[in-house]
Structure 1
Amino acid sequence: MAFSTIEMVTHDFNYTTYEVNCSELREVLISSASPNYWLVAILAIYFVVGFFGNGVLVVLFMKEKDLRNINNALITNLAVSDFLYLGVIAPIFFGQFYRYRPFGKKFCIISTVTNYTSQAVSSVSLTAVSYFRYCAVVRPLQSRMKSHRKSIITFCLLSWLIGAVFSFFPAMYCEEHPRRDCFVVGRYRINFFYEHVKFFKYFWVRFIVFYLLPLFIIIYFYGRVAYTLCTSSISLETNESIQYNNQATSRSRNKVSIVSIIITVTFFVSWMPTYIYWFNGLDDAVFTSELSTARTLTRFIPAAVDPIILFVTSTNYRKGFLNLRFCRGVKVTNARRVARN
């Protein structure tokens, strides 16, 4: 079975029993890290855009009353998971590219729990978005009769609980080993969970529960939504008396549904290389290298792209962002104008 990047370095250089020449080690580290500069640059862009964008989404949901609805609550839950995922996991990848990892066992557990929990929360949140879009479009009367505030809060907390429970198993296999080299004397963290036999069983469970099953559910709900929107638009065209009154509502429903579908497709397509990697990549070194790069690039795409999609397509989010950024300056300017008059 192929070693991971960190395990390869630890396997080749046993810091506890082998005296490593500092200059030789530096040459190995620099030569092995140089081809990944472009990858580090792309991940840095993902990190800055996604960390800032998802943070703004959370702040806007807390401050703007117009954004506090069911769909945006679930999107905010997704943004929180993406925010934590970028904040904790992205720095780990930067360290891996340079064959250097100063993190200990505690951070190993924290990063593993954050990694698997955020994936689960994102998948469950997108599934819930499809369900509530289905209720709002296909069964609007039933959707209005239900009290959603408590149920949404409960659901968000439950999604985090489910994700945390599924992350405890891989976190149990975090280990750390002593190391000493030219740069630092400390502890070297390795997660051997991916080489454990039980990983493949666990992986299949995760693949079914958090990828395959949600994908089928989402396809079903959005299929019903698309069918309802198409039939309703046809009926509006044949009935001109109610066409004008329902035209704005129909456009709003179409827009929200399309945005939700785009975010969902982005998530599932971006995580596909990761699942292909674990299905096939571990048995072929070349295939593993190519897939490893692909999954590294794609797994951060949803966290970075989702805020951009919302700011581009949603007028309320754009207005909220402008108010958040320029509200103080506008208020001061207006106050000065009033005082002058």
Structure 2
Amino acid sequence: MEVVETNKTFWSNNSVLAPTEPPYYPLHERPETYIVPIVFLIIFVVGVFGNGTLVFMFAKYPNMRNVPNTYILSLALGDLLVVIFAVPFVSIIYFTERWPFGETICRLSEFMRDISVGVTVFTLTALSADRYLAIVDPVGKRAGAVAHRTTVAVTAGIWVLAVILAAPAGIFSYLRSEDTGNGKIVVCNPFPVYLGPSYPRINVVTKLTIYYMLPLGIIATFYILMARHLMQAAAALPGEAQHQRQHIKHVAARRKVAKLVLAFVVIFAICYFPNHVFLMWFYFNPTVERDYNHFWNAFRCVGFCLGFVNSCINPIALYCISGAFRKSFNRHLFCCLCPEVAQGRTWTTFHFHSSGQHFISTFRKTEHFDLSTLNGPEKTAV
């Protein structure tokens, strides 16, 4: 949901909201006209490349198909949806005042945005629950076919729920035409007039609760329980030396994945926080016409962009945190840049001399790429 300023009018997703006093600024005089499209181009390229690489690796390497990686695949697919079916279209609202793609694309883009948000936050919640159970039971009792089938069922349920919750955006969005005095504007509007003036507020509060506050509260609860269990396990260590050493070894492996999930959660919370703050302020501030200024205009632009940045940043976080994913990603990048070398099966050693120091980097290409384990008995987590 986006708000743009036109002549004496606010538009939410380019829909009329409230009369305003600030003067009209032509598109070519607005900084966001030039900045936002560049940001969205970067989001599109990074999102397609990063998430596409994740999906490709999951499809190619069977040893990556474990419980946490199944959820991460779900995140990547949800991000790909919004990057491909929403980013190229919604970015144009900052440099044109006429929606050029027709009503079908209008509904599709709004629908895909809500599906992506739902899949992301519900998957993060499921991942947090899975990490808590893995910490509590680190010896592998949950591993195996039963755990995998359960994960697939939960993931399918997440997508079904996300589609159901996104249905109103796909059904009610439409093209609305309005004359503002500076020309005719055609906008993609998710709030049809026949649903009444209270519908936008209900929509904003519902999304804040279902897509943000409630899931983050559940995730925080799981991580608090996780921390308490780890402290209790550490306190019991001296009693059973060998057993506890094995227990702590398994827990330490799973803590790495828990930290990765926590990084995803923090990124999500930061990316969507400004947009929720702005929408709540805009729809529930009785003096919004008077208070809207350059600060709030910049704030809404930042919130709008960050909401889509979340769809491309998870692979970057994964690359920085996970050695297994970084190794696999670098391998595929090397294959793309030097395919004739990548097809070989021999050891290749590169020698670098810098400041009198000798550094050797060795790469080996084989028919099967074996990822290094990150979380012990659960095979490989990216």
Report the TM-score, using the length of structure 1 for normalisation. 0.80
1:273 and 2:284 are equivalent in the alignment:
no
Shift of 1:119: 0.7
**2:312 matched residue in structure 1:** 304
**1:136 matched residue in structure 2:** 134
**1:80 matched residue in structure 2:** 77
1:162 and 2:171 are equivalent in the alignment:
no
**1:215 matched residue in structure 2:** 216
1:62 and 2:59 are equivalent in the alignment:
yes
Shift of 1:336: 11
Shift of 1:40: 2.9
Given residue 104 of structure 1, which amino acid in structure 2 is its aligned partner? Answer: G
**2:363 matched residue in structure 1:** none
| Structure 2 unaligned blocks of 5 or more | 1-8, 20-24, 179-184, 349-382
C-alpha offsets along residues 214-267 of structure 1, whole Å, 9 cap, x if unaligned? Answer: 111111111111222233344446765457655643432221111111111110
Which has the larger share of strand? Answer: 2
After TM superposition, the structure 1 stretch with the greater mean CA deviation from structure 2, 113-122 or 47-56, is 47-56
1:333 and 2:330 are equivalent in the alignment:
no
1:295 and 2:308 are equivalent in the alignment:
no
Cα gap change, 1:3/1:334 in structure 2, threshold over 3 Å: closer, same or farther?
Answer: closer
**Whole-Å Cα distance in 2 between the matches of residues 117 and 306 of structure 1?**
17
- Secondary structure of 1:2's partner? strand
| Structure 1 unaligned blocks of 5 or more | 12-26, 180-186
- Secondary structure of 1:193's partner? coil
**Whole-Å Cα distance in 1 between the matches of residues 240 and 190 of structure 2?**
64
**1:319 matched residue in structure 2:** 327
Candidates 118, 125, 128, aligned match of 1:127: 125
Given residue 150 of structure 2, which amino acid in structure 1 is its aligned partner? Answer: S
Candidates 23, 26, 29, aligned match of 1:28: 26
Question: % of aligned pairs identical?
Answer: 24
**Whole-Å Cα distance in 1 between the matches of residues 111 and 120 of structure 2?**
14
Given residue 154 of structure 2, which amino acid in structure 1 is its aligned partner? Answer: F
- Secondary structure of 2:143's partner? helix
Within-5 A mapping of 1:82-101: 82-100=79-97, 101=99
**1:15 matched residue in structure 2:** none
Q: Would you say how many aligned residue pairs link Structure 1 and Structure 2?
A: 316
What is the aligned-residue RMSD (CA, Å)? 3.3
Shift of 1:273: 1.4
Given residue 227 of structure 2, which amino acid in structure 1 is its aligned partner? Answer: A
**Whole-Å Cα distance in 2 between the matches of residues 211 and 122 of structure 1?**
11
Given residue 57 of structure 1, which amino acid in structure 2 is its aligned partner? Answer: L
C-alpha offsets along residues 123-157 of structure 1, whole Å, 9 cap, x if unaligned? Answer: 11000000111111113465237712222222222
Shift of 1:177: 5.2
**1:252 matched residue in structure 2:** 253
Cα gap change, 1:94/1:213 in structure 2, threshold over 3 Å: closer, same or farther?
Answer: closer
After TM superposition, the structure 1 stretch with the greater mean CA deviation from structure 2, 152-161 or 78-87, is 152-161
Report the TM-score, using the length of structure 2 for normalisation. 0.72
**1:22 matched residue in structure 2:** none
**1:118 matched residue in structure 2:** 116
Whether the 8 Å CA contact 2:78–2:119 is kept in 1: the answer is yes
**Whole-Å Cα distance in 2 between the matches of residues 258 and 306 of structure 1?**
13
